[in-house]
Every structure is written in C-alpha cells, then in structure tokens.
Copies of this chain bind each other. A is one copy, B any other.
Amino acid sequence: MNEQKSFMLEAVKLAGMALDNNHGGPFGAVIVKNGKIIAQGYNQVIKTNDPTAHAEILAIREASKILNTYDLGECEIYTSCEPCPMCLAACHWANIRKIYYSNTRKDAENIGFKDNLMYEELKITTNNRLTRIEIPEALEIFKKWKQKPNKIIY
C-alpha cells in the first residue's frame, strides 16, 4: 500500500471509531506534515453536542494547537469523506492546500447526511434564511480595521 492510501486508511479507522463508539457520524480525518500524521479527529457531534465537531474541524484545531499557529500551509489533510462546506472552508482558512478524500458527498447523502444539499444551498446568495439588517456601526468597525497599523491578516 502506498503512503497516501495508508494515511487514508488511518482516517477511515477513525471514522470507524466514531461509528463504534456512537460519538458521531462515520467520519474521520488525519493531518499530515512532512510525511507524518501530526493530528487526527473523528466526528463527535453526538458525544459533545457540538454541531461543529466534525472530523476535519477537530483535526485542524488539534494541529493548530500542536504547531502553535493558525497557518497549516505545510500540512495536508486526509479525510474519509469529501469535506462538507464547513470543513472545506475551514481547510481554506487554515491554508491547507491539499485535501484528499475517499467517499464522496453523494455517498454521504446516500446514508442520510445533508452535505450535498448544503453545497447546493451555498450557491444561492439570497434566500429567506439570510437577512441583512444594516447598521452603520458595523461598517465603522471595518473602517477601523482597515486603518489599524500592524494588523495580522490571517
């Protein structure tokens, strides 16, 4: 088995743990840096009652803690299933440039998860869920940020 498949198998083993322990949906992920797994996660939505406790999010948070930076630009993620939009965007914010997955969003849909639907909804810019309430104070804060010296852009 090549190295990439072995990392993927580790992610899948974690997915199995989530399933067997009833901690959450059957999803697992590992983060790799310089050819070594440095962090891992599996879905814990049910166990922790945290709707954001997806495998990738937990793995990213662990890797960031270990490396002491929000910038995981030198890392890759292996996830047992194509990331949902939350996790894909989290990879973006963490600057993870290579994302490897095995099962697809369609496979996830087939077992009852709404990843695919969510991707479709994210293409729509206006709907009855999202409502703008514009207050001038909000843009004032953005202006202050723009003028702020030595700010850290992440």
- Please give the residue numbers on chain A whose beta carbons come within 8 Å of chain B beta carbons, in ascending order: 4-5, 8-9, 11-12, 15-16, 19, 22, 24-26, 45-46, 49-52, 54, 57, 60-61, 64-65, 68-72, 78, 80-82, 84-90, 92-95, 97-104, 107-108, 110-112, 114, 118-119, 121-123, 129-135, 137-139, 141-142, 144-146, 148, 151-154
Contacts and interface: CB of A to CB of B under 8 A. Distances in A.
Contacts of A92: 86, 114, 118, 121
Nearest to A123: B123
B69 A49 contact: yes
Contact of A50 (B50, B65, B80, B81): B65
B19 A145 contact: yes
A147 to B, nearest CB: 10
Contacts of A5: 133, 135
